Chains A and B, each alone.
Chain A
Amino acid sequence: MFLSHIWLIPLLPAFGAAIMFFFGRRLQKGTVSAVCVGAIVLAFIMACGAVSQYSDWSSAPENFHKPYQTILYTWLGTDTGHMTYATHDGTPTAFQADAGFLLDPLSSIWLLFVTGVGMLIHIYSIGYMAHEGGYFRFFGYLNLFMFSMLTLILANNYVLMFVGWEGVGLCSYLLIGFYFHRKSATDAGNKAFIVNRIGDAGFLLGMFFIAWYFGSLRFTEVTHIAHSGRFVIGDPIITAATLLLFVGACGKSAQLPLYVWLPDAMEGPTPVSALIHAATMVTAGVYMVARSNALFVLAPTSMKTVAIVGALTAIFAASIGLVQNDIKRVLAYSTVSQLGYMFLALGVGAFAAGVFHVFTHAFFKALLFLGAGSVIHAMSGEQDMRNMGDLGHRIPITHGTMFIATLAIAGIFPFAGFFSKDAILWETWSREAGAYRVLWYVGYATALMTAFYMSRLMYLTFHGHPRMRHDAEHHIHESPVSMTAPLVVLAICAVFAGWLGWPHSLGGSDRFTAFLEPVFAREANVLQEQGRAGQLAAGEEEEQHNTGTEWLLMGLSLAAAGVGWGMAWRSYRHADKGYAEPIAAVAPPVYNTLLNKYYVDEGYDYVFTGRRKLGDVRLGVLGLGEVSAWFDTNVVDGAVNAAGWITRLTATFSSWWDKWIIDGIGVNGPAILARMLSYPARLFEWGLVQWYALVMTAGLVGFVFYYVYH
């Protein structure tokens, strides 16, 4: 019953959003909360029911490990084939996209944590947004976001997925700019939207490549064709398609070089940061890549790209996070860094490990953001950690839960982050017979940085000496139950979520990976069929026979976490006003570079947007505009003007020629000549008839005399 009505899950929040859109302004805050939060609670219950029914359904022998798919109707294109196009081999194919839903282990995981974390954050928002304006607007957007995100997750084809993809992008934009009276917020919203647009272009192009190459956009069919063995590994079209899809993922999941929007997205309300920019939406890129795993394994170049971009993003963002002072920005860079881990896992072929990290990260990062929101709430809106300190005993629940989340993200055993992060690091170490080991060092360094910046955040916020203003200090209070309850629930998840993937080497059964096996197992078979059995076997062999190495790596990770923690402890334990940053003390240029985020935004301003000038030269979009304007003014208009000028010159000459040569010499010339010649002739015509007669007579007489006397 839940499974067959799975389409209701995204529709419930859409219903809530519609009510807010039409009637929200007139509703009481209580009603708004009831409708919107109720919709998500119902969606969560339905999601749990659907997943539980699915696991029963797919355990049955006739449906064994099959994805559950239900197609409501053909949404784009028709059966009559009027949107027919030719695929790469010339087969005419009807372009079709269903309004269809797909439930398999992969989407089950996303479905559960999106509705679950979403529900908690909705409840939290009741308290957090209680004193804010635009209450109904906020919840309307949140519900719209949930609708889009669930569409994205449950879609059974790329096109419908793209609809959700754009929907979450829109909601992200709306919610980042929620405080639209603040220019920085609207700017951040625009930035997020525009940067995501670049990624979306990649997604669209990748999608068209798939449609052209596979003749279908349905996940099940694309996967089936990709598994058919018709394609060689490294097929250039598949490589191009997957790279383009990855560009889309880079935009949505804030990877290098498109990560710049995520730190700025912290301008939105904190629950939004927790829900959209930490737990759910930014993992959409991971979901999309994992969903396309059958394609990615056919394109080793793309896999390498994903892994390298992921690892670089991880360490890059983590290093920036080391020195940021805004509590939410630290968490934002942490998110970017953790997303980098996820892509690293996907890139090395450890899809399950990547998804596992998405899952655990959703809990502890949402918890960290909500905790930060609680801190900001207590501090009357203050976000700068330099003005905090000694909050630990004043807001104990926030402190306790955030402490658990910090342990989780730092990778302390047995908290959630430990299992997922070590799964990623272990896979990076062992996959492809160790071809990715250099990335392991990157990931390892990132783990150390993660431990450092998270403990720095904890010490600066909750320990040391109070550094806030007195009026703010008097106002400090623990948040209401609606806010602390989600914190507690998330803290419990942050402890236990990782246990689902308790690795074999520690005597567990890694049920998480086993659960995902129907989605990712075939990929291993494909690799074997395509002749990479040797490498794969070597990897597996190592995995089986090197439990000792795995233990060693775990120990090293724990040591890194401990060292990072210890460094932060040493530097910030007694932080008082004007405390010293250790990095600034050791290497000021490094500190400044990190504090200014490697000047990436400035660089983009120079190179891409062109808002600033490099000397007299403007690059980027504005530079292109200037060049175009110059070209238009000088070359195009110049050509037009030159044509006009030449025409005018010709006309002037032509007119002169007509006036003086044709009219003058040709027409008036003979006339003037005739007139000139007429002057002597006219002398004979003086108008007296009788004179004429006299001349006539004289002439006559003359003739007579002439003839007579001749």
Chain B
Amino acid sequence: MGAMFHISTLHYLVLGAALFLLGVIGVLTRRNVVIVLMSIELILNAVNLNLVAFSHYWQGMPARLGGGAQALHGQVFSIFVITDAAAEAAVGLGILIAFFRNKETVNVDEVNLLKW
């Protein structure tokens, strides 16, 4: 079953794309800032998935082309992205709280103070 149902890089990419698409739709359509932030997390994780997938793919390539067991850049980079996502979530929630204190709402369509 395992051999027959080989999970290739393409599968990861399709899953990443799907996650990315879900994130984008969430960011664009949901009014609640919390959910928008969560959708951003989805997008970032989709990116992480791609990074890890391509990193795994490179590990299977010959070393003269830069592949091999040592080709861990993408995985390392995904760690950075996760860190960045945490930081981003902290900043975003901070803004959210400050915003809520002023407007008593968390709807993103009401954030229009800087509109002309």
Within 8 A of A (CB), among B4-36: 24, 27-29, 31, 36
Any A CB within 8 A of the CB of B115? yes
> Would B24 and A687 count as touching, CB distance under 8 A?
no
Any B CB within 8 A of the CB of A697? yes
> Would A697 and B116 count as touching, CB distance under 8 A?
no
From B45-53, B59-67, B69-77, B105-113, the one touching the partner chain is: B105-113
- Closest residue of chain A to B29 (Cβ to Cβ) is A690
> Would B24 and A697 count as touching, CB distance under 8 A?
yes
- Closest residue of chain B to A697 (Cβ to Cβ) is B24
> Would B28 and A693 count as touching, CB distance under 8 A?
yes
Nearest chain A CB to B67 CB, angstrom units: 26
For this complex, into which size category does the number of interface residues on chain A fall? 10 to 19
> Would B116 and A690 count as touching, CB distance under 8 A?
no
Determine the chain A residues whose CB is within 8 A of the CB of B109 once the complex forms.
688-690
Any B CB within 8 A of the CB of A616? no
Nearest chain A CB to B103 CB, angstrom units: 14
Quick one: which of A682, A688, A693 contacts B112, CB cutoff 8 A? A688
Q: A688-B109, A690-B108, A690-B109 are in contact. Are A697 and B115 (CB under 8 A)?
A: no
Quick one: which of A682, A689, A693 contacts B111, CB cutoff 8 A? A689
CA of A694 to CA of B116 in the docked complex: distance in angstroms?
20
Nearest chain A CB to B35 CB, angstrom units: 11
> Would B112 and A687 count as touching, CB distance under 8 A?
yes
Determine the chain A residues whose CB is within 8 A of the CB of B31 once the complex forms.
690
Determine the chain A residues whose CB is within 8 A of the CB of B108 once the complex forms.
689-690
Determine the chain A residues whose CB is within 8 A of the CB of B114 once the complex forms.
687
- Closest residue of chain B to A682 (Cβ to Cβ) is B116
CA of A689 to CA of B109 in the docked complex: distance in angstroms?
7
CA of A690 to CA of B111 in the docked complex: distance in angstroms?
10
> Would B27 and A685 count as touching, CB distance under 8 A?
no
Any B CB within 8 A of the CB of A707? no
Within 8 A of B (CB), among A412-467: none
Nearest chain A CB to B109 CB, angstrom units: 6
Determine the chain B residues whose CB is within 8 A of the CB of A690 once the complex forms.
27-29, 31, 36, 108-109
Any B CB within 8 A of the CB of A686? yes
Q: Residues 96-109 of chain B: 1 if any A CB is under 8 Å from the residue's CB, otherwise 0?
A: 00000000000011
- Among B36, B112, B114, B116, chain A packs the most CB atoms within 10 A around the CB of B116
Determine the chain B residues whose CB is within 8 A of the CB of A693 once the complex forms.
27-28
> Would B115 and A694 count as touching, CB distance under 8 A?
no
Within 8 A of B (CB), among A668-704: 682, 685-690, 693-694, 697
CA of A308 to CA of B26 in the docked complex: distance in angstroms?
133
CA of A697 to CA of B24 in the docked complex: distance in angstroms?
8
Quick one: which of B28, B111, B112 contacts A694, CB cutoff 8 A? B28
Could you pull out 20 A-B pairs where Cβ atoms are within 8 angstroms?
A682-B116, A686-B115, A687-B112, A687-B114, A687-B115, A688-B109, A688-B112, A689-B108, A689-B109, A689-B111, A690-B27, A690-B28, A690-B29, A690-B31, A690-B108, A690-B109, A693-B27, A693-B28, A697-B24, A697-B28
Chain A residues at the B interface, C-beta cutoff of 8 Å: 682, 685-690, 693-694, 697
